[in-house]
Structure 1
Amino acid sequence: MIRDWPLMQNNITKEDLTVLIEFLQKEPILTQSNNVSAFEEEWSNWLGVKHSVFVNSGSSANLLTLAALKQMRGEEEGEVIVPPFGWVSDIAAILQCGMKPVFADINPRTLCLDGEEITRKITAQTKAVLLVHAQGFNGLTDGLLKVLKENDIPLIDDVCESHGATFRGEKLGKFGV
């Protein structure tokens, strides 16, 4: 028997839509404006970080993060550990930066990369771990953070699906780059 398993339900109210429509009818500047800067600052305060930079999509965010890491660390190629359960754009960003995606299995309880699997996949070529916190779940563990720190491997902490989820009482998104 096949059962429906709803992954989400819409929580946007009619009141939310009314406010949005009224705002958009004023023909606001939606990019690179004071509103964006103010929202970045408000978001940073909420998250508990110094700075946030908004871009047009999660795909662009991952691409820019990988490109910045390569530039900052002076690396031309290498491997990025990534989950097989995610978006093709995660893999595309890795390939676009001239790096190789290395798939590590997920934890079936959290739907996020499994820390032990990540540890098994780490090599001298590992340049980053792209941890996608799927569907509101936290994928972090103290053990994983310790292994990444010991190996000087940056964590790309992708929380596009899990804003507000926490680890040790802190919001996800502030543990990596």
Structure 2
Amino acid sequence: MIASKFRTVIAAALLSSSASAITFDAKVVDVTDGDTVKVVTGETCTEGKNCRAGLVQYRIRLAEIDAPERKQPYGTKSKQALLGMVGGKQVKVEQTDIDRYGRIVAQLYAGQLWVNGEMVKTGNAWVYPQYAKTQALFQMQDEAKKQQQGLWSLPEGERVEPWKWRKAH
């Protein structure tokens, strides 16, 4: 009964782009790139778009940040950094929105670690200014630049914001 109610609440949230924040625990089962993961909730299911191997699964897009694309310079390293932080781990998902691809946009926590912020702080992702609401992210990015962390160690010509890279490719 509880599992059914949980799926109903999540499903309702997925149908609404203005869904109120929902928080749930899940296990990361795949890291797509430096800002997208797949998680399973541990709740069982038998069919449906979000049912994989009998468990409820969601694609999660990290809120407020944008990581290099897979074929973009630093894309592989960004993905590896996220994999190291959350791969196979239990995480807390704090949904903030649903994107145009149906992914849950969320703040992600691995224990006490704020994953979205850590990706920026370590130079593995940019702040996505179009969607950023957390001022601390800009400060983290400035510090990563100053310290030449991660992608900020690349030659300037290779540091192309993902939103500009996608448009060009």
What TM-score do the two structures reach when normalised by structure 1? 0.27
Q: Which has the larger radius of gyration?
A: 1
Which structure would you say has the larger RCO, counting Cα contacts within 8 Å and 6 or more residues apart?
Answer: 2
Return the TM-score normalized by structure 2: 0.28
Higher strand share: 2
Answer 1 or 2: which has greater helix percent.
1
